[in-house]
A = this chain, B = another copy of it.
Amino acid sequence: MSPLRSMFSGGRLASLIDDHSLLAAMLRFEAGLAIAQAGCGVIDASAARVIAAVCERLAAQPQALDDALDTGSLGEAARHAGTLAIPFVARLTRAVAGEDARAAGFVHLGATSQDVVDTATMLQARAAAAALDDELLQLGDALAALAQAHRATPITGRTLLQAAVPVSFGWKAAGWLDQLSRARSLLARTVDEQAVLQFGGAAGTLASLGDAAPRVARALASELSLPLPATSWHSARDRIARIGTELAMTTGACARIGRDVSLMMQTEVGEVFEPAAEGRGGSSAMPHKRNPVGSMLALEAALRTPSLAATLMGSLVSEHERGLGSWQHAAFVLADLFAAAASAAGAMLEVVRGLRVDTRAMHDNLARGAGFVHAEKISHALSASLGREAAQARVAQACQRAARDGIALRQALAADPVVGQTLDAARLDSLFDPSENLQAAAMMLDAVLAQWQASRLERRPGG
Q: Chain B contacts of A166 at CB under 8 A?
A: 207
Mark each residue of chain A from 425 to 444: 1 if its CB lies under 8 Å from any CB of chain B, else 0. 00000000000111111011
The segment from A127-135, A288-296, A352-360 that touches chain B is A288-296
Minimum CB distance partner of A14 in chain B: B75
A7 with B214: in contact, given A207-B377, A230-B178, A326-B303 (CB under 8 Å)? no
Minimum CB distance partner of A179 in chain B: B236
In the complex, A57 has a CB within 8 A of chain B: no
A368 with B268: in contact, given A326-B300, A383-B109 (CB under 8 Å)? yes
- Pick from B80, B209, B303, B377: contact of A325, CB below 8 A: B303
In the complex, A102 has a CB within 8 A of chain B: yes
In the complex, A307 has a CB within 8 A of chain B: yes
Q: Roughly how many angstroms separate A286 CA and B242 CA in the complex, as a whole number?
A: 31
Q: How far is the CB of A141 from chain B (nearest CB, A)?
A: 17
- A203 contacts B325, C-beta separation under 8 Å: no
Question: What copy number does this chain have within its complex?
Answer: 4
In the complex, A137 has a CB within 8 A of chain B: no
Minimum CB distance partner of A83 in chain B: B284
Q: Chain B contacts of A391 at CB under 8 A?
A: 105
- B302 contacts A306, C-beta separation under 8 Å: no
Q: How far is the CB of A167 from chain B (nearest CB, A)?
A: 5
Mark each residue of chain A from 366 to 410: 1 if its CB lies under 8 Å from any CB of chain B, else 0. 001100100111011101001111111101100100000000010
Q: Chain B contacts of A283 at CB under 8 A?
A: 86, 112-113, 159, 164, 202
- A204 contacts B157, C-beta separation under 8 Å: yes
In the complex, A50 has a CB within 8 A of chain B: no
Q: How far is the CB of A269 from chain B (nearest CB, A)?
A: 5
Q: How far is the CB of A306 from chain B (nearest CB, A)?
A: 4
Q: Chain B contacts of A74 at CB under 8 A?
A: 3-4
Q: How far is the CB of A290 from chain B (nearest CB, A)?
A: 7
- A7 contacts B75, C-beta separation under 8 Å: yes
In the complex, A421 has a CB within 8 A of chain B: no
Q: Roughly how many angstroms separate A207 CA and B110 CA in the complex, as a whole number?
A: 51
A245 with B280: in contact, given A202-B159, A324-B296, A438-B207 (CB under 8 Å)? no
List 8 additional contacts besides A285-B379, A302-B317; criterion CB under 8 Å: A7-B75, A80-B280, A82-B293, A157-B320, A168-B205, A205-B438, A300-B325, A303-B325
Q: Could you list 22 A-B pairs, sorted by A, with CB under 8 Å?
A: A80-B293, A82-B280, A104-B387, A105-B388, A160-B322, A161-B319, A161-B320, A172-B320, A178-B231, A208-B376, A213-B440, A236-B253, A241-B249, A242-B249, A245-B313, A256-B317, A268-B268, A287-B395, A288-B409, A303-B329, A307-B307, A309-B313
